[in-house]
Copies of this chain bind each other. A is one copy, B any other.
Amino acid sequence: MAKIIPINNGTKKEAVLQAAASLFMKKGYAATSMRDIAVAIGIEAPSLYNHIHSKKSMLHDICFSVAQSFNEHMLEVQGNAENFLKKIENLIRFHIDMMVKDFQNVYIADNEWRHLDEPYNSDFKNQRRNYRSCFAALLRDGINNNEISDVDADIAVLTILSAIGGIESWQRSAKKMDVQLLEENIVNILLKGLKKH
């Protein structure tokens, strides 16, 4: 007999994942219990396992889906016809937008990935290292092309990504920021710091 898939299976699973993401961000992965997640959506802890495989698998799904979004965007940027400074601006704006729109998942991918088991832990680290080295390569191209001032590209990438990563503490607080204001200010500070002349 074919397995009957309830019509609301997808949405309930999403509710579980969203509650998990919210708690992983607020309390951290290690300090969040399956019972915490269950309480948040009003069921008993063992019932969670009808929707997800394990606590670790939820962390895995969050981290790798975020990584995929950034990797795909990097490929787009590498392939488009803009100059290098524009490519960098494009990357910065994408990071800010992701942080604003999907900040729970981005925060978790940024800060809780180390709780991943092997081989996923190494896989994630490799993807992250690769992304950063692509970012740095674009910066170096921009420097060689005289669009960007002569900074250490690796340090600049670290500075940019960290600066944007800090938006989480803003999103976390009650008073929502004006996104436009936030984006223009950060882009302005970082891009002025990089631009030649």
Contact = CB atoms under 8 A, between A and B. Distances in A.
A177 to B, nearest CB: 8
Nearest to A162: B166
Contacts of A191: 193
Interface residues on A, range: 35 or more
Nearest to A128: B169
The A interface, classified by DSSP as helix, strand, loop or mixed, is helix
B31 A151 contact: no
A90 B144 CA distance: 31
Interface in A155-186: 155-156, 158-167, 169-170, 177, 181-182, 185-186
Interface of A: 27-28, 30-31, 111, 114-115, 149, 151-152, 155-156, 158-167, 169-170, 177, 181-182, 185-186, 188-194
